[in-house]
Structures are given as C-alpha cells and as structure tokens.
Amino acid sequence: MKETIQTVCPYCSGNGYVQLVLGGSETCYCCSGKGVTVKDKQ
C-alpha cells in the first residue's frame, strides 16, 4: 500500500505561482501551479 504526503510548496508558499523580479508572475515550476508538493512515503 502506497501513501503520499502533501505539503505546501516551499517555493511558492502554496500560491501556485511566483512573483518575477521584473514584474508579473509565473506558474511555479516546482509544483506546476498546484501549490502543494506530493511525496511518496517510504
């Protein structure tokens, strides 16, 4: 049986996007805009 753990994405703080230095925002590449990262529990 496989368990997964969802945690708030540390890169975008759960927003799903990141602010760009030059202005505007971009979908977070770390979580693909979901705002959470999923880890497989070992």
Out of 26, 31, 39, 42, the residue judged to bind Zn ion by CB under 5 A:
31
The token duo for 28 is 């977070």
Under DSSP, is residue 39 helix (H, G, I), strand (E, B) or coil? strand
Residue 36 binds Zn ion (CB under 5 A): no
CA angle (14 as vertex; 4, 40 as ends), nearest 5: 15
- Taking the complex as a whole, the smallest distance from the CB of residue 41 to Zn ion amounts, in Å, to 20
Decide if residue 11 touches Zn ion (CB under 5 A). Answer: yes
Residues at the site binding Zn ion, with contacts judged by CB under 5 A: 9, 11-12, 28, 30-31
